Structure 1
Amino acid sequence: MPKSTPSAKTPDPKFSTSRFRMWRELAYLDRSVPASHRPATTSWFSLAFPIILSALVSVILNTLVLSVPRTPTTTALGLRLYDESLWRLVEGRVEEALIRQSKDMFGMRDFALAMGGAQVIPSVTTPTSKSGGRPNPPEIALTPGVQPGKCWPTHTGGHLGVALANTIIVSHVTIDCIAAELAINITTAPKDMVLWGLIEDHHAIQRFNSYFPSPLDPPAAILPLISSLQTRTDKTSAKPVFVPLASVHYDPSLMNNVQMFPAHPEVRLLEIPTRVVVLEIQSNWGHEDLTCLYRLRVHGQLIE
C-alpha cells in the first residue's frame, strides 16, 4: 500500500520569506564578526548586582526612616514628613559635631591650656633642646596646633611642669602629635609618659596614704619642688606629695594622632584634687636625645 504523503501545513506568518531572509543575514553577520569583537557574555553577578545594591539601599533607607519616632503628624502626612524629620535629625547631629569640634576635639575642657590660664613651671621643666634650629619655648606645648615644627623640643627623659588653670580631679590626659605622614622625623615623638600630680589637700593626702601605705618615688627632677613645698607647710599638717595620675603610651602609627588616656582609677576613687602636674617623658620612638612634645591636655572635674 503506497504511503500517503503528509498534508501540507499552512505556513506560519512569522516564518515568512522576508523574516527568514533577515534572520539568515543576521546569522551570517554574527559569524563574520571576530570573537574578540563580540560582546562578552553577561554573567549572573553583573545582572544581579544592581538588584542587590538597590535592595541594600532600600533596607538602609527604611532603617533610617523607621528610626524617626512615629507621631500622629508623621502618620497623617506620610513619608515626606519622615524624610524631613530624618534630615532634621542628620542636620542636628552634624551641627552638634561642628560645635564640639569648635570647642575641643573631645568636647572636654583642657585645664592645661595656656589661653585658659595654665602656666609652665620652670623649676620642674627640663631645658629646651637647642638642636634642630630655632627652638620653641615649653609654652608651645600648652597651645593648640600640630603643624610641622610647632612643638617643644627637649631631651629624652625630660619633664614639663604645669600649673593648671583650676584645681581639678584629673580624669583624662591627651597627647597631641603631628600625623606620622606629615612628620619630618617621627622618631622624636614621645612614647611612654607618666603624668604626676601634686596633692596639697590635707584630707586627700590622708586618703592617699591610707590607700598606698608605701611611698611612691617621683622623678628626681621634681624633688626640689617637693622639698620647697614641704618646708613651707605647717609641721602639724601632712606633707605635700606627688602621685602618678595617669600612664601614657603614645603610638604614632595609629590613625588618630590625638590620643586620650584615662587617669588611674584610684585618682577618681580617692577624689584626689590637684593644681600642679608634671609630665614625665620616659622614652620616645627611636631618636637618641631629642623628643618633641606638640601639646599636652589635662581634663577632669572642676573643684569648686
Structure 2
Amino acid sequence: MLHGLRNDLLHSGTLKTRAVPDFSSLAEYASLRAGGDIVLPLTTPTILPRGSLVHRLLRGGPQPGSPWAALDDDTRSQSCWLLGGNSGQLGVSLPRVVRISHIVVDHIVSDTLTAPRQMILWGLVDGRENLALFRALRANSLDIPEKRTFPAISGGFPFIPLSYFEYNAHALNLTQTFPVFPFVLDSGLDFGVVVLEILGNWGGMSMCLYRFRVYG
C-alpha cells in the first residue's frame, strides 16, 4: 500500500450534485451491456441465497442482491446490490481504460433509507505512464494535509480518489450525476478499474445500490 499520497480535493467536503451534463458525446463503461464487470477481491462480500451466483453464471443475468445488479440497466424494486450494513465498496472492471469525467448513481423513491449517502470513487493506478503521472501529482501536493490514500479493501494496489460526494435520497431527481475532481481529469490519468466506496446510508439497517454508471 502507498503512504504519503496527498489529496487536494477532499479539503472542502463533499461535491454536490451537478446538473446532468450532455452525455451525447460520452460512453458509459460500467454497465454489463458495455462490458463492465465486478472485481470480487475489491468488493465487500455479499450474503446471497445458496446457488444464486451459480444461477447467474448459468443464466447470464444479474441476480437481485448480487453486486452485478448495480451494473444492470434494470432499476426495478429489489434489483439492487444489497448489503447487510450501511457501508461497503464495489470494485468494477471497465471494458477498457478510460479518462473518467462523471459518474451517475440511481435509486428508487420507495426505498430512501437504504440509499447510499457519502461516497468516494477511487481509481486503481496501473501502467508505467499512469504511475509516473500519479507520482507527479503526489510531488506537487506537498502542502495538502494528509487524507485517506486507498479504499477499505485495496488489495495492496495504488489508488487515487476521483470524487468525494453525497447522494441526496430526498431529491426530486434520484438519478444524480457527480464529476471527477478537476485535477484528475486534467492530469491525463486513465483507469481500467474503479472502486465505489460507500461510507454510509440514509438511516436504514441495510444498503441498496440500484445502479452505478461511469462516463468518460
RMSD: 2.1
TM-score under structure 1 length normalisation: 0.54
* Residue 128 (str. 1) matches residue 58 (str. 2): no
Give the counterpart of 1:291 among 203, 207, 213: 207
CA distance in 1, matches of 2:156, 2:196: 14
CA distance in 2, matches of 1:250, 1:209: 31
How far does the alpha carbon of each residue in 1:101-153 deviate from its partner, in whole angstroms, 9 at most, with x for none? Answer: xxxx943421001111111011111122459xx95211010011221111110
Give the length in aligned residue pairs: 174
In the other structure, the counterpart of 2:32 is 114
In the other structure, the counterpart of 2:73 is 144
Give identity over the alignment, percent. Answer: 34
CA distance in 1, matches of 2:114, 2:181: 26
Report the 3-state secondary structure (helix = DSSP H, G, I; strand = E; otherwise coil) of the residue aligned with 1:205. Answer: helix
* Residue 156 (str. 1) matches residue 86 (str. 2): yes
The 5 A counterparts of 1:167-178 are 167-178=97-108
Measure how far apart 1:217 and its partner are. 1.9
CA distance in 2, matches of 1:242, 1:299: 19
Structure 1's 159 and 122: CA in aligned 2 closer, same or farther, altered over 3 A? same
Write 1 or 2 for the structure with the bigger share of helix. 1
In the other structure, the counterpart of 2:19 is none
Report the 3-state secondary structure (helix = DSSP H, G, I; strand = E; otherwise coil) of the residue aligned with 2:33. Answer: helix
CA distance in 1, matches of 2:134, 2:197: 21
CA distance in 1, matches of 2:210, 2:117: 13
Tell me, which stretches of 5 or more residues in structure 1 are unaligned? 1-104, 227-240
Report the structure number with the largest CA radius of gyration.
Answer: 1
CA contact (8 A) 2:36 2:92 kept: yes
Measure how far apart 1:256 and its partner are. 1.1
The 5 A counterparts of 1:59-138 are 106-107=23-24, 108-129=26-47, 136-138=65-67
Structure 1's 129 and 284: CA in aligned 2 closer, same or farther, altered over 3 A? farther
TM-score under structure 2 length normalisation: 0.74
CA distance in 1, matches of 2:128, 2:182: 20
Write 1 or 2 for the structure with the bigger share of strand. 2
